[in-house]
Amino acid sequence: MALKFRKMHGLGNDFVVLDVRDGKMTVGPDLARTLADRRRGIGCDQVMVMESPKTPGTDIFMRIYNPDGSEAGACGNGTRCVAKVLMDESGKGACVIETVSGILPAHMADGGLVTVDMGAPRTAWNEIPLSEERDTLHLGIGDGDTLSDPVAINMGNPHCVFFVNNVEELSIEHLGPSVERHAMFPQRTNVEFAQVISPTKIRMRVWERGTGVTQACGSGACATAAAALRRGLIGRDVEVVLDGGSLFFHIREDDGHILMTGAATDVFAGEMAA
Q: Kindly tell me if the per-residue pLDDT of 148 is higher than 80.
A: yes
Mean per-residue pLDDT of the chain: 96
How long a stretch of residues is the chain?
274
Sign of the alpha-carbon dihedral angle for 201, 250, 130, 233:
positive
Q: Kindly tell me if the per-residue pLDDT of 274 is higher than 80.
A: no
Residues making up the annotated binding site are: 13, 46, 66, 76-77, 157, 190, 208-209, 218-219
pLDDT, tens only, 2-43: 899 999 999 999 999 999 999 988 899 999 999 999 999 999
Nearest to 63 by CA among 105, 108, 16, 22: 16
Q: Rounded to an integer, what distance in angstroms lies between the CA atom of residue 214 and that of residue 235?
A: 26
Q: Rounded to an integer, what distance in angstroms lies between the CA atom of residue 163 and that of residue 203?
A: 10
pLDDT, tens only, 194-234: 999 999 999 999 999 999 999 999 999 999 999 999 999 99
Q: Within 10 Å of residue 169's Cβ, how many Cβ atoms? A: 10
Q: Which residues are catalytic?
A: 75, 217
Q: Is 27 helix (H, G, I), strand (E, B) or coil?
A: coil
Name the band, by pLDDT with cuts 50, 70 and 90, for residue 145.
confident
Residues making up the annotated binding site for substrate are: 13, 46, 66, 76-77, 157, 190, 208-209, 218-219
pTM for the full model? 0.94
Question: What are the structural domains of the chain?
Answer: 3-117+263-272 (3.10.310.10), 125-256 (3.10.310.10)
Q: Rounded to an integer, what distance in angstroms lies between the CA atom of residue 59 and that of residue 93?
A: 13
Q: Rounded to an integer, what distance in angstroms lies between the CA atom of residue 209 and that of residue 55?
A: 28
- Kindly give the residue spans of alpha helices, DSSP state H, lying in the chain: 29-36, 76-90, 172-180, 218-230
